[in-house]
Structure 1
């Protein structure tokens, strides 16, 4: 955190005209506002935490009003964080002079899952826990608080015995298929055991207080005849809406299709996919092999999304009244399940290799050996590869990556219904990327062309890059090429399409003229003899990254060289070489 970070943050707030989910600005001229406690709690409970700016007035377009007696306000803020919350908070706090006034900046990191929720002690855990939604703080409901508490350890709701259930509630054919598979795959453990013993070892059956073996929640959901007999809402619902907002007011049409899907998870997954497919149409995919007619959504991506929702849903008593919901709109498909992300997984690391955590460990273990009806493969592999498969399948179909939303008591997957690389986008990329772009950068630019604003995590999610440093390098290269504009720095950096890139929307518009940066840089060095990177940036009124990009490009081409020692430093100076022909016309 430094003054430049604070200045960029304020500039971003003014540019977009509102706070985002990670920033809270408050006037706080002489004392801390009471509402600050809610923001600190919210940031501590929200993925990626957040930043508080004191001395910035949101109501006056984020004018810097400053903080009087800043040392006292800073000390009061540290004391509030330490003394008024359970668990205590330790934000990073700094004072900075911005536009001639003092602004206090506090960065609040997200608490580990085993310490959530952070709450205002005097209000108690039920009424004093908050979360950040959009640009506001919202009190967590009692259910959300209990969800966070239960997620501190490994939930065991799937291992509960269903007291009213009997062995006859399980499907004997499905049981025999699974038993044959586990005995074949692991004869050392299961070959010589009776059916009941194996089912007990796998968590399908459990001894009840009366001494009888009864199905568990996991057993019923995987191998039951009709689990909804005991849990009516542990089902899946599908609704196909006629408009992007739902009901069509012109015709009073509420939906085009409305289906409830019951049964064990294998049957629900199979039937749900069939229902979605019958509501899909086909579209044309233009690729190197020509035109192909493909489904609106890749079937394998749909399968992973539906199965994930069914197996990772929250099974605690408070969530058993909520279904897995699938909603189809003309522009998107939305899949929502009760229960947010669990364990070591957070929204920024979804799909990373080796990052996996399961809320329903017993359920997932059983499903490793339960086959999909009519197929030979099992419901899930339990290897944490579902998100990667989803992204890869959508990318292979030329579509935008899925969007994920973690909201403590729910998790949402949204698949946009459009081709990312349509003909117009391909033409546009061919023009703006004449100097060569990586495929990952092309994907990001195509998303930004659809008004997406990316950060490092979203860039990695969209491109499949796992290393945040590589993502930053590629994003900074786009900034240097003047294709992308950056607001904020470090963790708060956001990237959107530049006005220059937007001006080339029509790829066949040959009348548009872009600045010939090679010519400008060579002419500038010819006029001044030698210059530093910062001097070039100032004289040409381009950002430092752009100056760095073109100086490096021209040096690799042999047209400029270092003028004096100091290479690698911001003070390095550059001059022309004998190869720089001033009469040559350089293509941008």
Structure 2
């Protein structure tokens, strides 16, 4: 926070985002204030600030901010009294020529936060223990924030970033029966919310009206976004055709597919078909047979799996398809998830979904017939075509699948 922002808060005697203490002697009250700012009962979604070295009237008293004082404040985060652990920073700041110790506390992702078992909140400028109803509201905020990653709202994305025509023409007819479509007279926003492509907004928000708080979800941008990578930077596929067997060999062609999923999958599968080479087999029977170097179905299953199971948060990396002379490598960001581990990865019956709602949409669009069978189908198709077994490189940060060319 800037000096100007801190001064404004320090001098705002009505703000419920500020706690002022003349010294560090009132450690218990400081911890209660930290707990209350974590819970963010008014739903400001902004940090709260504890000033050490200021009176209740916002006047700075002038204290010596020592390393020991800062360490004592920092230890309040991890001494086990405030749980879950708060997200906070402790700083020495000089405002108008006077030194203060400043504790900046971020709203918790998973409220309620407790101090010695008590749930502290701010009610106006004072602290209080949460009532049963207030605790329920904090629990609902936690359920909102614990939504699967693929249906979390994108706060900065406007609703007009979703393509209404694509939603009505390409998605709805596949997702809903003709009878339901004929009776569907809900507004566009309510249809998007029902399809999990938009979220109605934070519960109990006093600062937003319903209309202004509706936001596209990650799923909405992926499926019907006009330009998904505007809001989810890694949501594209990089396709490289390499003239050789190693990185550094010449690149014959390169493509970046930055489309909503129905178009992206269609374009990607066209690229797969264009790059498969077939040869005539005149020796295994009386009729000539064209034998592909890779079975299309196996490639389809693996690239769909990569798009479905990749991590879309905390990374800008795309799904990569690297087509070498003797093998195809498909890599997606995000390691094993849930019940899937390095040890059981690829084992029949062992599967989980980082993006369960995306899995449902891919099924609605016809790209998934049954859940949990993608790798099994790919292995079977590779064996039928005479290719070597599929290889997996499973790391915490990514998964790479290697399909080797038929000899």
1:300 is aligned, of 290, 293, 297, to 297
1:462-481 equivalence runs, <5 A: none
1:207-231 superposed Cα distances (whole Å, 9 cap, x missing partner) = 2353332210111101212101223
SS of the residue 1:256 aligns to:
strand
The one of 166, 170, 184 equivalent to 2:162 is: 170
8 Å CA contact 2:336, 2:394 repeated in 1 = yes
The separation in 2 between residues aligned to 1:313 and 1:260, in whole angstroms, is 17
Distance in 1 (CA, whole Å) between partners of 2:317 and 2:173 is 34
Tell me, in whole angstroms, the C-alpha distance in 2 between the residues paired with 1:310 and 1:367.
Answer: 10
- Describe how 1:418-567 pairs up with structure 2 within 5 A: 418-419=406-407
Q: Considering Cα pairs closer than 8 Å and 6+ residues apart, tell me whether 1 or 2 has the greater RCO.
A: 2
Is 2:277 the partner of 1:281?
Answer: yes
* Residue 158 (str. 1) matches residue 154 (str. 2): no
* 1:347-426 paired onto structure 2 within 5 Å: 347=342, 349-370=344-365, 378-381=366-369, 383-419=371-407
Partners of 1:343 and 1:185 lie apart in 2 by: 36
| Conserved 8 A contact 1:364-1:382 | no
- How does the TM-score come out when normalised to structure 2? 0.56
| 8 Å contact from structure 2 (residues 272, 296) kept in 1 | no
Distance 1:185 1:406, change over 3 A: farther
**CA separation in 2, counterparts of 1:329 and 1:289?**
33
Aligned: 1:256 with 2:252: yes
Does the 8 Å contact 2:218/2:232 carry over to 1? no
Offset of residue 336 of structure 1 = 0.3
**Correspondence for 1:241:** 242
Aligned length: 252
More helix by share: 1
Q: In 1, distance between residues paired with 2:224 and 2:188?
A: 14
Match of 2:308 among 304, 311, 335: 311
CA shift at 1:167, angstroms? 2.9
Kindly report which structure 2 residues correspond to 1:109-258, keeping only aligned pairs within 5 A, or say none.
156-176=148-168, 177-184=170-177, 187=180, 194-209=187-202, 210=208, 211=210, 212=212, 213-248=214-249, 254-258=250-254
Aligned equivalents of 1:337, 1:411: Cα separation in 2: 6
Q: Is the 8 A contact 1:237 1:323 kept in 2?
A: yes
Are 2:343 and 1:343 equivalent residues in the alignment? no
The Cα of 1:348 is off from its aligned counterpart by: 5.2
Q: Map Cα deviations across residues 66-85 of structure 1 (whole Å, 9 max, x no partner).
A: xxxxxxxxxxxxxxxxxxxx
| Pairwise CA distance, 1:192 | 7.0
Structure 2 equivalent of residue 108 of structure 1: none
Structure 2 residues not aligned, in runs of 5+: 1-144, 203-207
Does the CA contact (< 8 Å) of 2:221 and 2:231 recur in 1? no
Q: What is the CA-CA distance between 1:263 and the residue it aligns to?
A: 0.8
Whether contact under 8 Å (1:154, 1:359) holds in the other structure is: no
Q: Does residue 270 in structure 1 map to residue 258 in structure 2?
A: no
CA distance in 2, matches of 1:359, 1:232: 18
Extract unaligned runs of 5+ from structure 1: 1-152, 249-253, 371-377, 420-588
The structural deviation recorded for 1:281 is 2.1
Cα deviation for residue 191 of structure 1 reads 5.4
Q: Compute the RMSD of aligned alpha carbons.
A: 2.8
Q: Which residue of 2 aligns with 1:58?
A: none
The verdict on how the C-alpha distance between 1:195 and 1:233 changes in structure 2, with shifts beyond 3 A counting, is same
- Cα deviation, 1:26-83, whole Å, max 9, x if unaligned, reads xxxxxxxxxxxxxxxxxxxxxxxxxxxxxxxxxxxxxxxxxxxxxxxxxxxxxxxxxx
Distance 1:186 1:351 in 2: 39
Distance 2:147 2:190 in 1: 24
Aligned equivalents of 1:296, 1:409: Cα separation in 2: 30
The aligned residue for residue 134 of structure 1 is none
Cα 1:199–1:289 change in 2 (3 A) is farther
- Distance of aligned partners of 1:291 and 1:350 in 2 relative to their CA distance in 1, 3 Å threshold: farther
Give the TM-score normalised by structure 1: 0.40
